[in-house]
């Protein structure tokens, strides 16, 4: 066994194993108001509160809808509760419903 292999073996025995990465918590629903719907492109512009899972403060911005069908029953001005996440590099609404 060469010296580097021996040192690597010793280090692996002496250092504690790295803790397992926890799965990210599911995003909590956030309140918002629909400002613009573009069903053709599957996007929705929302004025929303804080999105902690995206490290984002309150603002108005556009999101891609996970599926265009999610937007069918909604209209501009609707108060909503929604969840958003980064999916394949795009900010995406993963669930959306009218606020009660």
In the three-class reduction of DSSP (H, G, I as helix; E, B as strand; rest coil), residue 82 is classed as strand
Q: What domain range is 46 assigned to?
A: 24-98
Please report whether residue 2 resides in a domain. no
Task: Kindly tell me if the per-residue pLDDT of 87 is higher than 80.
Answer: yes
Q: Residue 49 and residue 32: Cα distance in Å, rounded?
A: 6
Mean pLDDT of 39-45: 96
- How many domains, the chain? 1
- For the segment 34-56, the average pLDDT, to the nearest whole number, is 96
Q: Which stretch of DSSP H or E encloses residue 14? A: helix 3-14
CATH number where 72 lies: 2.40.50.320
CA 84 to CA 88: how far, in whole Å? 13
Nearest to 79 by CA among 29, 28, 25: 29
| 83 domain residue, yes or no | yes
Strand segments (E) across 1-100: 30-38, 43-48, 59-65, 79-87, 90-98
pLDDT, tens digit (0-9, with 9 covering 90-100), for 14-28: 655 544 433 344 678
């Amino acid at each position: 066994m060469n010296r580097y292999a021996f040192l690597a073996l010793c280090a692996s025995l002496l250092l504690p194993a790295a803790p397992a990465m926890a799965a990210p918590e599911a995003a909590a629903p956030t309140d918002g108001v629909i400002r613009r719907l573009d069903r053709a492109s599957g996007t929705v512009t929302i004025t929303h509160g804080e999105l902690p899972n995206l490290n984002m403060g309150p603002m108005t911005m556009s999101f891609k809808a996970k599926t265009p069908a999610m937007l069918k029953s909604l209209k501009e001005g609707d108060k909503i509760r929604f969840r958003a996440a980064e999916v394949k590099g795009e900010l995406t609404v993963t669930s959306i419903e009218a606020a009660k």
